[in-house]
Amino acid sequence: MNEVSHRRIKTNGIWVHIAEQGRGPLVLLLHGFPEIWYSWRHQISFLANHGYHVVAPDLRGYGDSDSPLSPSSYTFMHYVGDIIGLLDHLGEQQAFVVGHDVGAAIAWHLSLFRPERVKASINLGVAYFDRNPNAKLGESLIRTFGDGFYISQFQEPGRAERTFAGYDYLTVIKKFLLITQTDNLIAPPGMEIIDYLETPSRLPPWITEEELQVYADKFQESGFTGALNYYRALDLNWELTAPWQGSKIRVPVKFMVGENDIGFDINGIRQYIEGNVFRNLIPDLEVVMLDGHHYLQQEKHHQVSEEILSFLAKFPPE
């Protein structure tokens, strides 16, 4: 089996870096915040060794992919356009699409906008919600959770970047990737979210200092602005996705979530994904809850890899 290879391709007007390995049906792995392709390191080789062509891009704004300057260049239209261009470049009409966190949100909207390009999707950590016709997402989050909520603080260009700069890059990465709290990420009044988040004194067994340093080094090169611009486009997304109000996700989906994920119980996410509304929006849905936190594909990489493989096996090559 060949090792993971790297290249940059031109898609949707930008250069996107991809890591890839293996031959066979195409599986795209879309990472979250604050991550890069490397968050899928366990799944890349595992799936490649089981007969798949695995491609993990750095999303626009991350890693070695381009970072357009304007937050308005980070809508779902842009991310989905990047993925469609990637599929075209690879000469593939369809792909299996796996997304986590921000990558899950993008995968949901890829399935919504262009279902004919998605053979099946596996999403981790972020469920699909129908668009609320009465309230923009960013504004409603601020009203609901206040200024201390992490997404609220990410809205203002430069605010999070300035506060992140009070720490070295490795500490910032640790504060996010090693989160174990299950309540919402809301800083007390007058405090910035990065100051509120704890820095663990000991690493969990599922990640090493060297692995965390890979993220830190890459964000030291790229900065955080491109990654944060996704959150700054939430209200623009609300405006642009109006034509899909009430639409269903018409591709087969497996949704995985950690039972100790942030806000899983107190925000009613457990009840939502077990209820009828979620299943009505996604008629062909399988839900798996794991004993883990938010960054499942790393913390529970053996289980997640096996869950992905078992779902892919339901769709043999034609």
The residues that are catalytic are 101, 231, 294
- CA–CA gap between residue 18 and residue 63 (Å, rounded): 10
What is the Cα 101 distance to its own chain's centre? Answer: 3
DSSP annotation of 247: -
Tokens linked to 25: 């049906």
Cβ atoms of 66 and 79 closer than 8 Å: no
Three-class DSSP labels, 80-128:
HHHHHHHHHHHCCCCEEEEEECHHHHHHHHHHHHCHHHEEEEEEECCCC
Cβ atoms of 300 and 290 closer than 8 Å: yes
Cis amide prior to 34 (ω within 30 degrees) = yes
- CA–CA gap between residue 225 and residue 162 (Å, rounded): 10
Cβ atoms of 173 and 211 closer than 8 Å: no
